[in-house]
Amino acid sequence: MSPVISLAVEAGLQAEQDLLASICAGDAEFGLLFWQPNDRALVMPRRLSRLAGFEHASDVSAAHGWPVLLRETGGEPVPQSTATVNIALVYAPPRSEGDHGRIETGYRRLCDPICQLLDELGGVASLGEVEGAFCDGRFNVNLDGRKMVGTAQRWRQSKGGQRPVGLVHGALLLENERESMVAAVNRFNEACGLEQRVRAESHIALHEKFPAPHVLERLEALYRKLLIELLGV
């Protein structure tokens, strides 16, 4: 049975925030959510809404079928559609870890299971920036040198301020919708007066290389193993 829940993009973003709030409240030791959009949107950090051209660019994007939504994590515009699977990992690190390196460790915990999966499939997995990729970053998960997963994270204090709780997020490109996604990002950037342009060939969808039908079930199992071992639950 697939671990993925089908949600509208807006509902998926809210589900991630609800999960973060739940773990902050102490309702569970960790949260793991896989969700796949049943519509599409161009999702971007709230800071971009302060740009002078934002409203015009949002109207242009919506007119082409890519309504703009704002998210709480940073980065740049990211297209979300049925071609994407989102992974939300929510946990409070063991107190023994301290705060040093918490951000990098969070990214590693998100990325390592994906890299292991790619290794199992026979792909070449790597982490790092890819020229021409949208929302490029040091912790992209790349397949054969092309971006497959974008990552971001946000931290909050638990109830009573006892410990930090992280929401570490990955957007995995499962199916090939690279051309229309790149067009959506470039259209918004141009209308908003932003210089960045992105390229379809800088990305790759998992199913372009590996049609593996049970890949998400395997990935969920790897995350659960990691979290149970980490938190001792």
- The Cα 218–Cα 75 span in angstroms is 28
Q: Using one digit for the tens of pLDDT, what is the confidence trace for 135-147? A: 999 999 999 999 9
Domains of the chain listed by start with CATH number: 5-231 (3.30.930.10)
**pTM, two decimal places:** 0.95
Q: Using one digit for the tens of pLDDT, what is the confidence trace for 109-125? A: 999 999 999 999 999 99
Q: Using one digit for the tens of pLDDT, what is the confidence trace for 155-174? A: 998 877 788 999 999 999 99
- The Cα 7–Cα 97 span in angstroms is 35
* Nearest alpha carbon to residue 69 among 21, 8, 20: 8
Predicted pLDDT at 90: 97
- The Cα 213–Cα 215 span in angstroms is 6
Predicted pLDDT at 69: 97
